[in-house]
Chain A
Amino acid sequence: MRTVLNLLSEYHMSLISAEFLLFIAIVIAIFYCVPGKAKRLWIGAANIVFLYFAGGLYGLSLWFLGAAVVYLGAMGITKGRGFLKKLCFWVPLIINLAILIITRYQYIHPVRAPFGVSFYTLILLSYLIDVYWGKFEAVLNPVDYFSYAGFFPAMTSGPIIRYKEFEANFKDRIRPDYKNIVFGMERILWGFFKKLVISERFAVLVNTVFGDYKTYSGAYIIFGVICFAFQLYTDFSGCMDIVMGVSEAMGMKIPENFATPFFSRSESELWRRWHITLGTWFKDYIMYPLQKTDLMVNFSDICRKKFGRKTGKKVGVWPGLLILWFLIGYWHGGLLKFVIGSGLLHAIYMICGQINEPWLKKVHEKLGIKPENGWYVILCRVRTFLLLCSGFMFFRADSTITALRMYGAIFTGNMGLFSAEGITSLGLDVPDLVVAAVSLLILFIAECFMQTGSVREKLYEKNVFVRALTWSLLAGAVMIFGMYGPAFEAGSFIYQNF
């Protein structure tokens, strides 16, 4: 018995594993069997089992500590007044932030970050702050609360669900629904395709270039960082597809984290379509309260007086924007490279976008360019994608210094990439490169269709034969072309480490 327990405690369940598939099959089957009220109790139990297998007793206990203080604090906020209310807000807030900062950013001494801490901390804090702001009263029933606070699909990499969004699923009775289950399974399969067929392949190219940028300089570096954009997107959004699929199969809706971000025409649009729930979290709980402070309101007034109404109101939000993006970057891991690459750089791009807007508008009018022109839209999308990549250089490189050196190494003029030996020297042979390119093309075509509505709905209208064929092909592609095994470290998601 003891050995079994030891084995279990060393085991880490990942979303990409046969064990996880078995786990969700059991969870979903029993979820539909238990009566209405017991469904949330069952989710709560599944949460605990998942957190234990994914993060061990250590991860489970730290999550429980964070969640429990928020549960009690929120009740104190609803029942209490004055000082007690403030105390019940600040104590759980500080405890949760302390757990996040100490374990995740390792300022005190190296301690392991509990599984999912970056994501569940934000989930717990959104609940605490919403109760403090009086959006709703604290939840008394511990089953209702803990089924939300540790909702297992969202623990690996989000999305950052709000309590109201979670709660809305239980307004009506959840019944087994053929469409939900099929759609859920389709989405899980799509996630596996993105992660195992596309992301794991691009990872090989990326690791080669970033592992030895002195050899792979020049065009290799630009190629490497573009490949990283595809790797990260298919990894993270693939993980989200699995998470959404699991929830959908259980008849539950949770907020989307991606909306085909590479189709964005501007930096500000990009951040409404990439890691959406993180952006809205920081907007609601950091940016808005900050901008409503007297200091910022006064600053805004001064800007309007100094720069005129139109420009002034834009300048007025810049400090808030910079603080917001500093924190978003910092959240990614407390390192300077994240603060730059996933933070301040993008705030600066957005500010530049605002500065350039008036004169660009004039140029467009003079040259007769309409913003909806096909070629112009493509140009804007490519530009936005490249700006995103410029931040990813910092994100992926070992450090800020390495990223800057890599920027320098672009200018060595190494064009080796454009030869047969060059392109095949990155770790993938010709067949694998073809699979990578074709699967990326399939993703692109699917996302083009997504611009006009749900691909699964469109497919659902087709006859059974077409549907079965489509999904068999995809399942076949995952089984034949999926990259498994420890060599490629399949099974670990990039954002899982945040």
Chain B
Amino acid sequence: MGREEIFERLNEVFREYFDDDSITVTDDTTAADIEDWDSLEHINLLVAIEREFDIKFTMGETSEMKNVGEMVTAISEHLK
């Protein structure tokens, strides 16, 4: 799966999770850009992403991801 396709599916997850159709994530999107994305929501969001792609992030990845770009890299690593 290419990065573009991952981004597309990721957008859907974000829109559904935060109930906001105007969200479009890019490489540089961080928690600061999305109002409801705080540390309490972080794991729930990751679980939703794990389900969408049928993967499991490691604990290291969970606390290391600094932006959506790193998230996409981690997802594509798991899908390899």
Contact = CB atoms under 8 A, between A and B. Distances in A.
Interface of A: 130, 133-135, 268, 283-284, 287-289, 291-292, 297, 300, 309-310, 313-314, 316-317, 321
B39 interface: yes
Contacts of B44: 291, 300, 313, 316-317
24 contacts: A130-B60, A133-B59, A133-B60, A134-B60, A268-B38, A268-B40, A284-B63, A287-B39, A288-B63, A291-B43, A291-B44, A292-B46, A292-B47, A292-B59, A292-B62, A297-B47, A300-B44, A300-B47, A309-B19, A313-B41, A314-B40, A317-B40, A317-B41, A317-B44
Ranked nearest first, the 6 interchain pairs of A and B with the lowest CB-CB distance are A133-B60, A291-B43, A284-B63, A135-B60, A133-B59, A317-B40
Given A134-B58, A310-B19, A292 B43 contact: yes
Contacts of A288: 42-43, 59, 62-63
Interface in B1-41: 17, 19, 38-41
Which of B43, B46, B47, B64 has the largest number of chain A CB atoms within 10 A? B43
A130 B19 CA distance: 34
Contacts of A130: 60
Contacts of B59: 133, 288-289, 292
Nearest to B48: A313
Given A133-B59, A317-B44, 8 more contacts: A133-B63, A135-B64, A268-B38, A283-B39, A288-B42, A289-B59, A313-B44, A317-B40
B33 to A, nearest CB: 16
Contacts of B39: 283, 287
B44 to A, nearest CB: 5
Contacts, number: 43
A45 B75 CA distance: 43
Contacts of A289: 59
Name which of A134, A268, A292, A314 has the most chain B CB atoms within 10 A of its CB: A292
A297 B46 CA distance: 11
Contacts of A291: 43-44
Contacts of B62: 288, 292
Contacts of A314: 40
A435 B40 CA distance: 42
Nearest to A164: B64
A130 B58 CA distance: 11
B48 to A, nearest CB: 9
A362 B74 CA distance: 40
Nearest to A130: B60
Contacts of B17: 313
A40 B59 CA distance: 30
Contacts of B42: 288
A310 B39 CA distance: 16
A314 B38 CA distance: 11
A10 to B, nearest CB: 43
Contacts of A134: 58, 60
A123 to B, nearest CB: 16
A278 to B, nearest CB: 14
Contacts of A292: 43, 46-47, 59, 62
A465 B37 CA distance: 47
Given A288-B63, A309-B19, A313-B41, A133 B47 contact: no
Nearest to A269: B38
Of residues A284, A287, A297, A313, which shows the largest number of chain B Cβ atoms within 10 Å of its Cβ? Answer: A313
Contacts of B43: 287-288, 291-292, 317
A309 B16 CA distance: 10
B50 to A, nearest CB: 9
Contacts of B41: 313, 317
A191 to B, nearest CB: 29
A362 B17 CA distance: 22
Contacts of A309: 19
Nearest to A129: B59
A133 B38 contact: no
Nearest to A285: B63
Contacts of A321: 40
Interface in B44-77: 44, 46-47, 58-60, 62-64
A300 B17 CA distance: 13
A4 to B, nearest CB: 48
A181 to B, nearest CB: 31
Nearest to A354: B40
A130 B44 CA distance: 22
Among A284, A291, A300, A310, max chain B CB count under 10 A is at A291
A284 B63 CA distance: 6
A135 B63 CA distance: 10
A317 B41 CA distance: 8
Nearest to A134: B60
Nearest to B62: A288
A300 B41 CA distance: 11
